Amino acid sequence: MRLSQFFLPTLKETPSEAQIASHRLMLRAGMVRQLTAGIYSWLPLGHRVLKKIEQIVREEQDKIGFNELLMPTIQPAELWQESGRYDDYGLEMLRITDRHDRKMLFGPTNEEAITDIFRNDVRSYKQLPQMLYHIQWKFRDEIRPRFGVMRGREFLMKDAYSFDIDYESARHTYNKIFLAYCRTFTRLGVKAIPMVADTGPIGGDLSHEFIILADTGESEVFCDKKWLDKDLTGQGVDLNDRPGLENWVQTTLSDYAATEEKHDKANSPISGDDLIETRGIEVGHIFHFGTKYSEPMGATVLGPDGKDTPVQMGSYGIGVSRLVGALIEASHDENGIIWPESVAPYKVGLINLRTGDDACDAACEDAYAKMTNAGIEVLYDDRDIRAGGKFADMDLIGLPWQIVIGPKGLKNGVVELKNRRSGEKTEVTFEAALNQISA
């Protein structure tokens, strides 16, 4: 993409309403613009990152056998009245009345809707397990939306739901999701620590939040410092080996980690230098809640004994749009964002130091064509502005690599290659730069 054709409204000054790094940088980098309190338009650069994160989340869900569907944003109140949550959920739920005076709501979550789908189409335990997910926009009417997309009112979520015949099967599904989440966040380039958590309004008896440690997090968290170096890739774990998967999960959770609601300071198993007390950003939350929804909503199947049996359910969320902000909080410097390659909007920023110079223009066009043909995503800064503005914008938007082509380098047959994360700059031939970027 040529920057002269790309909508990238960067800002030199920090907007006064931005209180944390991710909000400041997303506004300055032209990723989002606020439409109204807690509701944002995602501009082209931000949208590209959002779709990259969404795709990684999708791939890891597919790998463990979950099926993608899409449920509506608007739900009938009757479903929530059946489950008993309509009056309990609170003012965060945006309630609507349509022209026929029917009570509706903008979905804050989808347990009721997915249970309705299941109960209408699944009859026998032989059809289990069923594992479904969707990636959809949600709305929660936060009393004080703040911190940009980190705590907005409208947000993009991945929600997965599972249906099993008994607790042992449901626990196996929970463990599969646990492993998938660990792998998802590893691919996204962050350490998200699974912590024992409160179930909140979702309900249930088993729950873990996946937390990125950050001073700007919304709540206090507590964990063993061993988590900082722990491998969460689950390499070699067989999803179909129930005892092996269970053992891996339990071994992973053997080191202490808990949210504020679950941490008992008086009886903490670790303390002193071994205990990290900090704040954290929740980017995922998984629940097993048994028959909390299946019993009141009649989601039953014929069991092996021929009797109607309420299914065991679980719910598993990842905050896709929140992750954009969380990744920035975890990876930035005084000059701007530093994207992990897996979610960067473009892999390379190509800078033409002297637009309008025939030799520079020709060399940049050639480099742009070669990288594009090699399948490398490139943002080519072909604007006729000062070099300082180009460098500042490239550092601000945080692309992993920068290739700078100018008259001096061309005379010597080299380009400048910069690694955004390390800041290292080297003068190499374009072919050498291309090999390093492609490695």
Q: What is the pTM of this model?
A: 0.95
- Average pLDDT of span 364-382: 97
Distance separating alpha carbons of residues 367 and 431, to the nearest angstrom: 9
Write down the number of H helices and E strands in the chain.
Answer: 11, 23
Count of other CB atoms within 10 angstroms of residue 206: 17
Q: Which residue has the higher pLDDT, 198 or 71?
A: 71
Predicted local distance difference test score (pLDDT) of residue 90: 87
List pLDDT tens digits, range 338-351: 999 999 999 999 99
Spell 245-259 as b/e; 16+ CB within 10 A means b: beebbeebeebbbbb
| Alpha carbon distances (Å) from 29 to 13, 190, 351, 393 | 11, 21, 17, 8
Are the C-beta atoms of residues 155 and 132 closer than 8 Å to each other? no
Identical fold for domains 3-337 and 348-438, yes or no, is no
Q: Where do the structural domains in the chain lie, given as residue ranges?
A: 3-337, 348-438
Q: Residue 208 has which token pair? A: 């873990």
CB-neighbour burial class of residue 99 (10 A; exposed 0-12, middle 13-18, buried 19+)? exposed
Which is it for strands 193-196 and 103-106: parallel, antiparallel or unpaired?
Answer: unpaired
Tell me: pLDDT of 225 over 80. Answer: yes
Distance separating alpha carbons of residues 118 and 313, to the nearest angstrom: 11
Instruction: Report, in this order, helix, strand and coil percent for the chain, each rounded to 5.
Output: 35, 30, 35
Top CATH class, 3-337:
alpha beta
User: Residue 218: left (phi > 0), alpha (psi -120 to 50), or beta?
Assistant: alpha
List pLDDT tens digits, range 29-54: 999 999 999 999 999 999 999 999 99
The verdict on domain 348-438 having CATH code 3.40.50.800 is yes
Of residues 360, 346, 358, 362, the one with CA closest to residue 402: 346
Cα-trace Rg, the chain: 24
Predicted local distance difference test score (pLDDT) of residue 434: 96
Predicted local distance difference test score (pLDDT) of residue 202: 61
Tell me: pLDDT of 155 over 70. Answer: yes
